[in-house]
Structures are given as structure tokens and as C-alpha cells.
Amino acid sequence: MEIISGIHQVDGVNGNSYIVARESLTIIDTGLPGSSAKIIKYITGDLRRDPSEISTIVLTHAHIDHVGGITKMKQAAPGAKVAVHTAEAAYITGKIPIPPPKGVMGFLLRIMSVFIKQNFFEPDILLDDGDRIDGLVCVHTPGHTPGSLGLLDEATRTFFAGDTLRYDGKTLTEGPKTATLDVDQERASIRRIATLDFDTLLVGHGVPLRTGAGEKVREFAGTLPR
């Protein structure tokens, strides 16, 4: 679905995958393994464009529900460059094991890992805070993972938050504590996001917060413990 002009969310992908459709196509996150087919179908069917127009695939962090579709996406768009934050690169390449979620979620993930294997790979582009890629400003938001990455589209006043924030249509929340490495650091990142200027919030799980998102994030950040 088109959220605002030129920014689309691919339905049925967990976690959320977004397409910024301008002169070229920018993919933000690729969902679980198997999600790439839905993303490609959206590009060719809804957008009536070709996967070869994908210039960049930006991954907000290394969890499998955000990077799982990357292998098939690269096969469909071999010219696309994969970009991650510098602090996330060791997880993406497999040099450092991705810490499993705590509690029941971690137990379920260990069972899933028997059937779903994470594909490790070398990213093409390493990003740092303040870098620009395809017109998007990179915002380092550590906490959920060390290299969690947000993206600010100044042209449409839209912020892509990855798993640092969630929105279910009614309530803003932090990322899930069971899958967040450093809760205090994540809260500091949310307070940083609250200083940015945006109207629309797009999260890694949940639905778009389409109006007044910046103010709502500022209000939420003010409620977080320090």
C-alpha cells in the first residue's frame, strides 16, 4: 500500500518492508525468509517497475525478520547495494553471533532456527550517523541492537524507526525487551528520535503513524524512565 506519495509498505511481510519509489527504488528491510517474492511482486505488479531499478537495500538491523529476504532480493536485483550501520556489520557477516531473544521468544527462535537458517553476507555499504543514502538521512539508534538504524526522509517528513519503536494503531511502545540488548540505550535513542522533525512514523512491526508522529514520539519519550 502507498502510505504517502512515493513511500510504500509491502503487505504481508513480517517485519515490515518499505519501498521508497523515486528515480530508483530503495528497499528498507526484507522481512523473514520467503518475503522477497511478495516484495518483488509488489514492485512488478503494483508499482509496474522492474527489480533492476532497486539501487539500495537498507537493513535497519540484523534480526532475521528484517534481513531474511536478502538473498533472494539480491538474486532478483544483482546490481543493488546492501547497506547497514557500521556497528551492525559483524552481526550481518556472522563474525559475531546475534544474541538470541530472552525467555519464550528465544526458545521459539531456537526451534525455528532448525528450519530457518540465517544467511550471512558481506554488506556493500557501511553507514554512520548523519550519512545520506538515496536522499535519506541515517540516524544511529543503538539499543535494540548495537547498529540499529533509523532513516529520516526530509522530503516527506517521514521517519523509519526499525524496531526501536512500535505502533499498533493506538499506542506507541518501545521495542520488545526480550529482543532488545540494551533497554537504557534504546530509550536514549528514542529520546534522540524525539528531537527530529517528522510527521509520519514507519515502524518495523505494527502500522504507520500517519499524522503528528513527531509530537506523539516526543510525548512518549517524556514518559520513559531515565
Residue pLDDT tens, the chain, 226 long? 999 999 999 999 999 999 999 999 999 999 999 899 999 999 999 999 999 999 999 999 999 899 999 999 999 999 999 999 999 999 999 999 887 666 655 555 555 555 566 778 999 999 999 999 999 999 999 999 999 999 999 999 999 999 999 999 999 999 988 889 999 999 999 999 999 999 999 999 999 999 999 999 999 999 999 8
Structural domain includes residue 98: yes
Q: Look up the CATH number of the domain holding residue 209.
A: 3.60.15.10
pTM, 2 dp: 0.94
Domain interval for residue 124:
2-221
Q: What is the pLDDT of residue 75?
A: 94
Please give the tally of structural domains in the chain.
1
pLDDT of the residue at 4: 95
Assigned domain for 165 exists: yes
Cβ atoms of 162 and 60 closer than 8 Å = yes
Indicate whether 89 belongs to any domain. yes
| Amino acid 110: pLDDT | 55
Residue 226 domain flag: no
Residue type, 73: M
| Phi, psi (rounded to 5 degrees) for 194 | -65, -15
Residue 204 amino acid letter: G
Rounded to a whole number of angstroms, the CA Rg of the chain reads 16
Instruction: Report yes or no on 59 lying in a domain.
Output: yes
- Residue 44 falls within a domain, yes or no? yes
> Does any domain span residue 144?
yes
- Do the beta carbons of residue 218 and residue 194 sit within 8 Å? yes
Whether 23 is covered by a domain: the verdict is: yes
CB 172 within 8 A of CB 220: yes
Considering only CA atoms, which of 85, 197, 95 is closest in space to residue 141?
A: 85
**What pLDDT, on the 0 to 100 scale, is given for residue 109?**
54
Q: Which of 173, 194, 175, 191 is nearest to 183 (CA)?
A: 175
